[in-house]
Amino acid sequence: MPSMNCECGHRIIYGDIPCHDEWLLISDVAYDRFAGTVDAEEVYNEMQHMLLCPKCGRLWVYWHGISKAPTAYVRE
């Protein structure tokens, strides 16, 4: 099952469907390319994956696909 270790030490498991710790992001520009009846798979493929650590609140965003290293964002 896919998982990753957060900097805080919590192990985020993101293989469940639906996954409570995974969020899907899409830019406004990318979203506007879709109109009328759309294929959900096409919309899904345009989205970026983000993991939210339930322990520390750190966000891990996969800007370049799930196979590349994510960028971490920490709450102030």
pTM over 0.75: yes
Domain ranges, residue 8: 3-73
Given this model, what pLDDT does residue 29 score? 95
Given this model, what pLDDT does residue 23 score? 95
Q: What is the pLDDT along the chain (76 residues), one digit of tens a residue?
A: 788 999 999 999 988 888 999 999 999 999 999 999 999 999 999 999 999 999 999 999 999 988 999 999 998 8
Given this model, what pLDDT does residue 17 score? 87
* First-to-final CA distance of the chain: 31
**Closest residue by Cα to residue 61 from 28, 31, 24:** 24
How many domains in the chain? 1
Q: Which whole-number Å values give the CA distances from 27 to 4, 10, 30, 32, in the listed order? A: 25, 29, 5, 9
In angstroms and rounded to an integer, the radius of gyration of the C-alpha atoms of the chain is 14
Given this model, what pLDDT does residue 16 score? 85
